[in-house]
Amino acid sequence: MGLLSGKTALITGASKGIGRAIAIRYAQEGANVAFTYLSSVEKGQALENELAAFGIKAKGFKSDASNFAAADELVNAVVAEFGALDILINNAGITRDNLLMRMTEDAWDEVINVNLKSCFNTVKAATRTMMKAKAGSIINITSVVGIKGNAGQANYAASKSGIVGFTKSVALELGSRNIRCNAVAPGFIETEMTAVLDEKTVQGWRDAIPMRRGGQPEEVANACVFLGSDMSSYISGQVLQVDGAMLT
Ligand code: NAP
Measure 132 CA to ligand 1 centroid, in angstroms.
Answer: 30
Best mutation site among 91, 95, 147, 190 for ligand 1 pocket (most ligand atoms within 8 Å of CB): 91
In short, whether 85's Cβ falls inside 6 Å of ligand 1 is no
Query: Which atom of ligand 1 approaches the CA of 14 most closely?
Result: 9
Amino acid at 203: Q
Instruction: State pLDDT tens for residues 43-85.
Output: 999 999 999 999 999 999 999 999 999 999 999 999 999 999 9
Q: Which domains does the chain have, with CATH numbers?
A: 8-242 (3.40.50.720)
Ligand 1 centroid to residue 83 C-alpha, Å:
27
Kindly report, residue by residue over 138-178, the tens digit of the pLDDT: 999 999 999 999 999 999 999 999 999 999 999 999 999 99
Going by C-alpha positions, the residue among 220, 203, 223, 222 that lies closest to residue 212 is: 203
Q: How far is the CA of 90 from the centre of ligand 1 (A)?
A: 10
Question: What pLDDT digit, counting tens, does each position of 185-226 carry?
Answer: 999 999 999 999 999 988 988 899 999 999 999 999 999 999
| Torsion angles phi and psi, residue 242, rounded to 5 | -125, 85
CA distance 41 to 134: 34
Q: Are 162 and 218 in contact (CB under 8 A)?
A: no
pTM higher than the cut 0.75: yes
Sign for the pseudo-dihedral over CA of 120, 19, 231, 54: positive
Alpha helices in the chain (DSSP H): 17-28, 41-52, 68-82, 105-111, 118-133, 145-148, 154-174, 192-195, 199-207, 217-228
